[in-house]
Amino acid sequence: MPPARPLLRSRTSALRYAAAVAALWFGAGCAAPGPKAAPPVTRGTLPATVAPVATAPSSVPGTVGTPAPPPPTFTGTVEVLPADVRELMTGRSWRPGCPVGLDDLRLLTVTYWGFDGAAHAGNLAVHRDHADALLAVFRTLFQVGFAIERIQLVDDFGADDAQSMAANNTSAFNCRGIDGHPGVWSEHSYGWAVDINPVQNPWVRGTQVDPPSGAPFADRTRQSPGMIHAGDAVVQAFTAVGWTWGGTFRTAKDYQHFSASGR
């Protein structure tokens, strides 16, 4: 399958805002992190939603204080799939014969904390019946400071699950079968499953680990950014909306996986 064509409609505004956030966030003298070698974010912007912050009093008489930089806040939206997103997905993550139609899906744009400590905007395609619940989940993940490498539509990786996982991409909808079970749809095919940080939270069965780069994280006693553990804030957020964590599966452990169906 040819590589996906990333959308560019909101890329300019996203870059402008990212520059503004970087100026505020690192204005205190910290060096900004270098760019990540990753595919471009499909779409999504971070509007300036923070209220003006009062000027901090100056310690030097007769001088004007410097405003404290406002912290980023969560922004999340749910929308019917725009025409350009439908075009991007058709023939990649969705095609005729999939168990749900494009009209059954919604585009989520959410703010998340990256591994670089900065706020980013990401996109997921999810089933319309679960869009609001997932928006609440990602709001919670942002509020607790949970780190996510990237959130992009799987179409940015040609709808190739292996490539998406290797890039440590958090994603939801992808119309595909279950590996090793011909003719059986994955829960992602319905838009009611999400995989989070696949490298830090790999699929594990015995000595098998997927993605392979997640092998060091098969040891779940590790405590590293982006990892999910039983009873933590990530599991609690999904449990609160009735979703099940793949880390509780009996045979293969799917630590990255959450689903509404429990499968």
> How many whole angstroms separate alpha carbon 50 and alpha carbon 33?
23
Summary mean pLDDT of the chain = 82
The pLDDT value given to residue 65: 66
DSSP, collapsed to helix, strand or coil, labels residue 263 as coil
Q: What predicted TM-score, i.e. pTM, was given to this entire model? A: 0.76
Residues of the chain with pLDDT under 50: 1-59
Alpha-carbon torsion (191, 193, 199, 205), positive or negative: negative
DSSP, collapsed to helix, strand or coil, labels residue 166 as helix
The pLDDT value given to residue 62: 53
The pLDDT value given to residue 226: 98
pLDDT tens-place string over residues 184-236: 999 999 999 999 999 999 999 999 999 999 999 999 999 999 999 999 999 99
Residues whose CB falls within 8 Å of the CB of residue 168, separated by 6 or more in sequence, listed in order: 149, 150, 197, 198, 199, 200
The kind and range of the H/E element at 13 are helix 11-25
Given 3-state DSSP classes, what are the helix, strand and coil percentages for the chain, each rounded to the nearest 5? 30, 20, 50
The pLDDT value given to residue 8: 36
